[in-house]
Structure 1
Amino acid sequence: MRLKSYILVLISCVILFSCKSENENAVAICNTKNIIQPPEDTTIISYIINPKKQTLKFYWKNKHDSLIKTFKNLKTEVENNNEKLIFAVNGGMFKKHFSPQDLYIEKGKILSKLDTIQNGFGNFYLQPNGVFSITEKAVSSITTTQNFMSTSNNYYATQSGPMLVIDGELNPKFNKGSSNLNIRNGVGVLPNGDLLFAMSKKEINFHDFATFFKNNDCESALYLDGFVSKTYLPSKHWEQLEGEFGVIIAEIKPKEN
């Protein structure tokens, strides 16, 4: 009888020790997860779009030939068309009167010509610059201006600069630790053809911003604009409706009845 009692006590101790060890390991794992936070949670807001499954459009003027300019105006436009605005970002640099500074193609029509000047002033002319385009079959690409081939297959396109990532490598013009800080937004193409849009939540240099796209396996990425950049993304509780732009890139979908 004493032997049975001893065995039961021994088994109970083993069980208690095992449970304690498992609990301690669980706490350790949880603590590790709490420590490791994705960079975009604090410095970058990003959004991935599959252009073949989601509806991505470029906007500049409405059907009355009036400038749209703001996300708020675009939101009204699409809602009047029984659609819902899911995501919006300014789509490149613009001139004084909100016209595209460079190449702009909308629904297959070239509304602003390709700018091939290489020795200009400002970020746009920091070489190489490039073009973000989408074909009528929703195939996306980002290429340097020099390699861009304007064809009838390009349904949407916007030119900007500089290129952030070229063939999987950072633009060699960028310097690590640069003090050239600003709010920045851009777009990259992922290996599966999806698009990665990103905007810094605080000022960042080109090197660190480009590194975000490279670390997410983008073979190519393009800078869109700087301090004026805004993003509308309610799904991530980020709704910047203020600001005026030229081109706007947006995802829409039909309203649910």
Structure 2
Amino acid sequence: MILKKLFFSSRLILLVFFLSFCAKEESKEQRDTPRIVAFEVNPKKEQVDFYWKNAQGQIYGNAKNLKTQLQKENKKLVFAMNGGMYKKDQSPLGLYIENEKIVSSLVTREKAYGNFYLQPNGVFYINKENNPVICTTKAFKSTKNVKYATQSGPMLVIDGKLHNKFTKGSKSVHIRNGVGVLPNGNLLFAMSKERINFYDFASFFKENGCKNALYLDGFVSRTYLPSKNYKQEDGNFGVMIGVVKTN
């Protein structure tokens, strides 16, 4: 009888553990809303890379070109999104670091036209230990130990609070994409499925527990995420952010 009870208890514990594990895994898929498509990634376990130009110096520009190049390297593009604002020549606007190399310097100018300069703006970076960080431009201290970085603006969430320039019910709506850091240390990428204002878009990150989140770009934004039937491969961007698997 005692053995039967122990056997039953062990099976019950295993069942609870299994269901708990499944719930955690499934939660990645439940972050989507009717207005927003989201993708959660663990940069400690999954390969997150930033891309601008290929080995021949050609700008990737969009997910289609990036996917084609990666296929030649026996790699699979799991996810891609435009990763920040850019100039007319598609060069990064603000700080850009790729594979520890500083391609474009940090912009500290505060007053100018456009969302990039809506203060505070910020920096999204991944260090050499694959820890992701999002901080304001003023809080960004050093490029040492940084593997990837992109600067953009405005910040969406700052220390758990929405950007103070955002207005609830604002009529200024566009397609928008951004990135936040979740309480578990994972990255949360998101793009609106429809035009949305800054307040509602930033609220999505705050409601998911992101203490800091950064706006990446606006109406031109595209997301490549075949696992959710999003295959937007067009565009003509500067920096691209991708999650890659080796075949």
TM-score when normalising by structure 2:
0.87
Q: Is the 8 A contact 2:110 2:117 kept in 1?
A: yes
| d(CA) in 2 for partners of 1:63, 1:71 | 17
Q: What residue ranges of structure 1 are gaps of 5+ in the alignment?
A: 1-37
Hey, what does 2:34 align to over in structure 1? Answer: 42
Q: What residue ranges of structure 2 are gaps of 5+ in the alignment?
A: 1-29
| d(CA) in 2 for partners of 1:201, 1:134 | 27
| d(CA) in 2 for partners of 1:70, 1:93 | 14
Cα distance, 1:70 vs. partner? 1.4
Q: Is the 8 A contact 2:175 2:192 kept in 1?
A: yes
Hey, what does 1:55 align to over in structure 2? Answer: 47
Hey, what does 1:251 align to over in structure 2? Answer: 243
| d(CA) in 1 for partners of 2:42, 2:228 | 18
| d(CA) in 2 for partners of 1:153, 1:166 | 23
Hey, what does 2:115 align to over in structure 1? Answer: 123
The amino acid that maps onto 2:85 is M
Verify: 1:169 aligned to 2:158, yes or no. no
| d(CA) in 1 for partners of 2:143, 2:174 | 34
Say if 1:208 and 1:240 are closer, same or farther in 2 by CA, change over 3 A. same
| d(CA) in 1 for partners of 2:198, 2:236 | 23
| d(CA) in 2 for partners of 1:40, 1:56 | 20
Verify: 1:142 aligned to 2:96, yes or no. no
- Aligned counterparts, 1:73-222, within 5 A: 73-222=65-214
TM-score when normalising by structure 1:
0.84
Superimposed CA distance per residue, residues 134-182 of structure 1 (whole angstroms, 9 cap, x where no aligned partner): 0011000000000102232000000000000000110111000001100
Count the aligned residue pairs: 218
* RMSD of aligned alpha carbons: 0.9
Hey, what does 1:21 align to over in structure 2? Answer: none
Superimposed CA distance per residue, residues 63-82 of structure 1 (whole angstroms, 9 cap, x where no aligned partner): 11111111110001111001
Hey, what does 1:18 align to over in structure 2? Answer: none
Hey, what does 2:23 align to over in structure 1? Answer: none
Superimposed CA distance per residue, residues 86-119 of structure 1 (whole angstroms, 9 cap, x where no aligned partner): 0000000000010001100000011000000101
Cα distance, 1:39 vs. partner? 7.8
Greater gyration radius: 1
Hey, what does 1:226 align to over in structure 2? Answer: 218
Q: Is the 8 A contact 2:121 2:152 kept in 1?
A: yes
Aligned-partner SS, 2:138? helix
| d(CA) in 2 for partners of 1:49, 1:158 | 17
| d(CA) in 2 for partners of 1:233, 1:155 | 24
Give aligned-pair identity as a percent: 58
The amino acid that maps onto 2:171 is S
Superimposed CA distance per residue, residues 212-243 of structure 1 (whole angstroms, 9 cap, x where no aligned partner): 00000000000000000000000001100111
The amino acid that maps onto 1:82 is N
Q: Is the 8 A contact 2:67 2:76 kept in 1?
A: yes
